[in-house]
Amino acid sequence: MIEITIIGSSGAIPAYGRFPSCQYVQAANRYFLIDCGEGAQMQMTRFQIPYHKIQRIFISHLHGDHFLGLMGLLFSMHLQKRSAELHLHAFKGLDDIIITQLKCSNSSLNFTIVFHPIKEGSTQVIYEDDALTVETIPLYHRIACSGFLFKEKPKPRKINKERLPQGILLQQIIALKDGHDLIDANGIVSYKNEELTLPPPPSWSYAYCSDTAFNLTIAKQIDGVDLLYHEATFMEEEKKKAIETFHSTTADAAHIAIQSNTKKLIIGHFSARYRDLDPVLKEAQEIFPNTSLAIEGQTFKIGS
């Protein structure tokens, strides 16, 4: 199961109690933060999110509303005696910003930050373990910007205990889970894999796309994603403004969801001009009905 908790959903300016971009992602017992806008640690305290568990932080781009909460979070981790290293994935420049702030405040951290620079304009796997991969999604914004695609790896087949023959060995069970048939001493197939196993549980996926102008090229990369977060800074009546600022409208986000065969869409990064978000949601749902608002404090679960 993948869980995404919305910490901040506002655009460039905090408005109507909404904070700038930030999300907490739990996947395969790993803990990640995507973007870290102003007030992120206050929001995590408010929603009882254990930020000491965060192992990696992914920053989409270097506009302030996506990283200005980072230094406060790092210092809080320091004051709470964090010792585990923290991996930070971002475009080159954020490392200089952190070093400068530490230098000018004559400060040092208890823990090590491992910085992983993101390559501009390319798709690359930036994190991988035995259960999960995270890859970059090149976005089209005023400066270098990247989305992030979380994908669970294929899971092993499940053993059908009711059909297991007596005396089967542990190594044979492992082979079955890996999808192999059972071979006897003479090299003959004694049991086909599908005779003794059940299909594996599904592997889930989540795509985060903010900030970006309308960009259909991402649809192929995220095709079939279970859950898509896509910015929808403006409603369609502000289409010209969206184009000028390299942002998307509600309709843009909905069309990306359709073209990528997304199962569910979340929209966020709302402009401060919208106090009431109901019309924003309705406009997107007219095109892609299975759309929800990124409401702060809400957790979206994939595979529950």
Q: Which residues are catalytic?
A: 65
Q: What share of the chain is helix, strand, coil (3-state, %, to 5)?
A: 25, 30, 45
CB 272, CB 239: distance < 8 Å: no
Distance from C-alpha of 67 to C-alpha of 57, rounded to nearest angstrom: 10
Please state whether beta strands 56-58 and 182-183 pair in parallel, antiparallel, or not at all (unpaired).
unpaired
DSSP 224-274: T-SEEEEE--B-GGGHHHHHHHT--BHHHHHHHHHHTT-SEEEEE-B-TT-
Rounded to a whole number of angstroms, the CA Rg of the chain reads: 22
